Amino acid sequence: QKEVEQDPGPLSVPEGAIVSLNCTYSNSAFQYFMWYRQYSRKGPELLMYTYSSGNKEDGRFTAQVDKSSKYISLFIRDSQPSDSATYLCAMTKNTGNQFYFGTGTSLTVIP
Amino acid sequence: EAQVTQNPRYLITVTGKKLTVTCSQNMNHEYMSWYRQDPGLGLRQIYYSMNVEVTDKGDVPEGYKVSRKEKRNFPLILESPSPNQTSLYFCASSLYGSHSPLHFGNGTRLTVT
């Protein structure tokens, strides 16, 4: 079993919808959580970076961490066609120097 | 502009012909790392470095070499490339390793025939 699980989708939503992207993990040692957006033929771009449990908001994006359930989410409000991309979750532990990635969820926002 | 720069963006080569992919960052980051990305497998770490002259294996190091002679540069070397190394490669850096987020380059698409 992988340490980080992410539904690959694809996910297709109409413009203006609220999008919910999720990852689950198995190791309670994970402390730092990230969401990346990757456009086709580009490198992953950092969207959100959070530590431990709770919510963090940045514009139309909200990252949520529930450590008790080992579950993280990224919400996109008022989704736009420009949000069409693959979204990757990532996490790290307090010790060690490895980043653990989900396989990514492909999102298409239809105008 | 703060960035991670990889070169080349595209590379086609033949089996056995040594190649180097360069990576440079201008953010004074301590940590640098190489990943390969394959459909269905996601990002897999090849090697990483926490400091100059310090490198460690990731999940898939076989067939690759790295060096960190200067803080800003972290080249990836394939001494004898094989077709199973055809992939999309990303270099990434972070300020303090796993306690800060990774910043990625734009990738190098390598094809080995």
B107 touches chain A (CB under 8 A): yes
Q: Is A2 helix (H, G, I), strand (E, B) or coil?
A: coil
Buried b / exposed e over B58-86, threshold 16 CB at 10 Å, is bebbeebebbbeeebbbbbebeebeeebb
What pLDDT is recorded for position B33?
Answer: 97
Query: What is the CA angle B30-A6-A47, rounded to 5?
Result: 45
* B4 with A43: Cβ contact below 8 A: yes
Tell me, what's the pLDDT at B30? 95
Minimum distance, in Å, between the CA of residue B21 and any CA atom of chain A: 15
Q: Which of A44, A96, A104 sits opposite B98 (nearest CB)?
A: A96
Q: pLDDT band at A95, cuts 50/70/90? A: confident
At A40-55, the pLDDT tens digits run: 989 999 999 998 888 9
Per-residue confidence band for B43, with pLDDT thresholds at 50, 70 and 90? very high
Q: B47 — contact with chain A (CB < 8 Å)?
A: no
φ/ψ of B85, rounded to 5, equals -95, 5
Among chain B residues, the shortest Cα distance to A88 is held by B42
Best residue in A42, A92, A99, A105 to probe B by mutation, most B CBs within 10 Å?
Answer: A99
Mean pLDDT calculated for residue range B4-14: 97
Best mutation target among A4, A33, A97, A100 (most B Cβ atoms within 10 Å) is A97
**A102: how many CB neighbours lie within 10 A of its CB?**
27
